Amino acid sequence: MRKKMTIIGAGNVGATAAHWAASRGIADVVLLDVVEGVPQGKALDLSQAGPVDGFSVSLTGSNDFADSAGSDVVIITAGLARKPGMSRDDLLAKNVAIVKSCAEQAAKHSPEAVLIVVTNPIDAMVYTAFKVSGFPKNRVIGMAGVLDSARYRTFLAQALGVAPRDVNALVMGIHGDNMLPLVRLANVAGVPVSALLSEEELAAIVKRTQHGGAEIVNHLKTGSAFYTPGLAAVEMAEAVLADSKRVLPCAAYLEGEFGFSGCFLGVPVVIGASGVERILEFPLTDEEKAAMAESEVAVRKQMAATGL
């Protein structure tokens, strides 16, 4: 029997995630949304790409959470998107109610699922889903680091004129301006980027990574990124569904790791069938510790604003 995945929210991110998931053939997909006709139409359209792309998974569009029952993975993308001039924090008050409802329904209909939260501000929304669902910490994960690291790797590859897949780089901390793109660990097939780029070039790339989402929002004017966020969520889901033990940077609940407890922060984790199987902890420099502490302060403020 094929695995089952539900994507809540049939907007740009959700529909794109469904596209990536179907194309990879990782699971049968239920696309859920409160707007009648939208998930049905997008699922039908996407299913008709099967003969062309070669996938054979089932795609169902629905407005009824009952259709999501028994999902192995539930991806929550529902919520408002950023517009120019808005910060991720500006979305918090409205999106917390949406994510709360989604998490409640996911827990009711798929009590053994792994929840992957994409809705912004991610670090606060994954905390909301964790509190509301009652799921253990390993089965609630925030999508952030995969996206931020992909942006970081892309900018480094462009500066170096190399294939992006050969760039290894890690972004930790909050999904926001205080995120921490680690320079000392970034490399190209094992060669440190610090040996290939100047400090000024690296500093510019770090800054661009930290504001990568806003750069896209400013271009689009009426929405935010969706191609890479959708794929990043699917990469995490695939690691769960295939029990592949992928090492991915994700927003995970910390209990002493890296010196932090009781909050979700982006850290490298091993993802398998049970979700976060372990956190890969390693020594940070004093500068990196300070940056992570700034992330924690920002996340704590968001957590307090949820009222949970």
Asked if residue 50 has pLDDT above 70, the reply is yes
Task: Show Cβ contacts of residue 216 under 8 Å, excluding neighbours closer than 6 positions.
Answer: 224, 225
Taking residues 166-187, report their average pLDDT. 96
The CATH number that domain 4-144 falls under is 3.40.50.720
Confidence of residue 300 (pLDDT cuts 50, 70, 90): very high
Angle among Cα 90, 118, 123 to the nearest 5 degrees reads: 60
Q: Which helix (H) or strand (E) holds 16?
A: helix 12-24
> What's the chain's average pLDDT?
96
Phi, psi (degrees; rounded to nearest 5) at 124: -80, -35
pLDDT of 231 higher than 80: yes
CA angle 173, 140, 288 (to 5 degrees): 15
Read off the pLDDT of residues 61-111 as tens digits, 9 standing for 90 and up.
999 999 999 999 999 999 987 677 766 667 788 899 999 999 999 999 999
The pLDDT tens digits for 25-43 are: 999 999 999 999 999 999 9
Lowest model confidence (mean pLDDT) among 47-56, 81-90, 194-203, 247-256: 81-90
Answer whether residue 301 shows pLDDT above 90.
yes
Please report the DSSP string for 117-128 in residue order: E-SSSHHHHHHH
- Respond yes or no: is residue 219 known to be catalytic: no
Q: Please, which residues have CB within 8 angstroms of residue 103's CB and are 6 or more apart in sequence?
A: 76, 115, 128, 129, 132, 133
Q: Are 147 and 124 in contact (CB under 8 A)?
A: no
Q: Which residues contact 50 (CB under 8 A, 6 or more apart)?
A: 22, 56, 57
pLDDT at residue 90 in the model: 77
> How far is residue 56's CA from residue 300's CA, in Å, rounded to a whole number?
44
d(CA 258, CA 280): 10
Is the confidence at residue 142, as pLDDT, over 90?
yes
- pTM for the structure as a whole: 0.96
**In which element (H, E) is residue 231 found?**
helix 227-241
Catalytic residue (choose from 109, 175, 211, 219): 175
User: What per-residue confidence (pLDDT) applies to 81?
Assistant: 73
Which two structure tokens, joined as six digits, stand for 112?
A: 């053994």
Instruction: For the chain, give the percent of residues with pLDDT over 70.
Output: 98
- Distance of alpha carbon 15 from the chain centroid: 15
